[in-house]
Structure 1
Amino acid sequence: MSPESGKGANQAGMVVAAVADVMALILGLWIVMYLLDANRANTLVQFVHEAADWLAGWSHDLFTFHKAWARVVAGYGLAAVVYLFVGHAIANRMHRH
């Protein structure tokens, strides 16, 4: 492998890791906003909530805890952990090749 192709794979891996980090950050931010009872009429709160809903669509209502806060933490938190784990695993694999 030439040094240029290794550099490109490294940069691509960094991008993949950064995207995974941003996705997890949005999900984590929504969890914090939910727990702190952020104003849902606020534009930023609405944006973060909609983005988090889209990102965690596959894990939304996966858990059936009685408390709403526990469902939010578990569902959105699981999505954040999966994105971090998968994103960084892919980035590391790209870095090695």
Structure 2
Amino acid sequence: MSPRYRSRSNQAATVLAVVADVTAVILGLWILFALLDANPANDLVNVVHDAARWLAGWSHDLFTMDVEWLRTVLNYGLPALVYLFIGHTLAARMRRG
């Protein structure tokens, strides 16, 4: 494998890992905002909530506990872990390439 190809593969792997990290941070930030009762009228809180809701759309209401904080942690924490696991696993495979 040529060094040029390997360099591009490493760059793509790094980008993939960073995207996975950013998605997990957004989801984690929403969990934090929800647990701390952040002001829903705040623009930052709205942007983070909209992004987190979109990123966790596939797992929305997967868990339907009566306890709201636990439901939030599970419904947004699971996608964060899945994105981290898949993103970093694919990035590692690309680097080994």
TM-score range, shorter chain: over 0.9
**1:83 & 1:95 partners in 2: Cα distance?**
18
Counterpart of 1:30 in structure 2 is 30
Aligned length: 97
Over 4 Å off, 4+ runs: none
1:60 shift after superposition: 1.1
Matches of 2:73 and 2:94, distance apart in 1: 31
Within-5 A mapping of 1:40-55: 40-55=40-55
TM-score by length of 2: 0.99
Shift of 1:68: 1.1
The equivalent residue for 1:70 is 70
Q: Which moved more, 1:43-52 or 1:58-67?
A: 58-67
Q: 1:51-84: CA deviations, max 9, x gaps? A: 0000000111000111111111001000000000
Q: Helix, strand or coil for the counterpart of 2:27?
A: helix
Cα deviation for residue 46 of structure 1 reads: 0.1
Identity over the aligned pairs, expressed in percent?
A: 62
What are structure 1's unaligned runs of at least 5 residues?
none
In structure 2, runs of 5+ residues without a counterpart are: none
In the aligned structure 2, how far is the partner of 1:68 from the partner of 1:62? 13
Output the TM-score relative to the length of structure 1.
0.99
* CA distance in 1: counterparts of 2:22 and 2:5, whole angstroms: 26
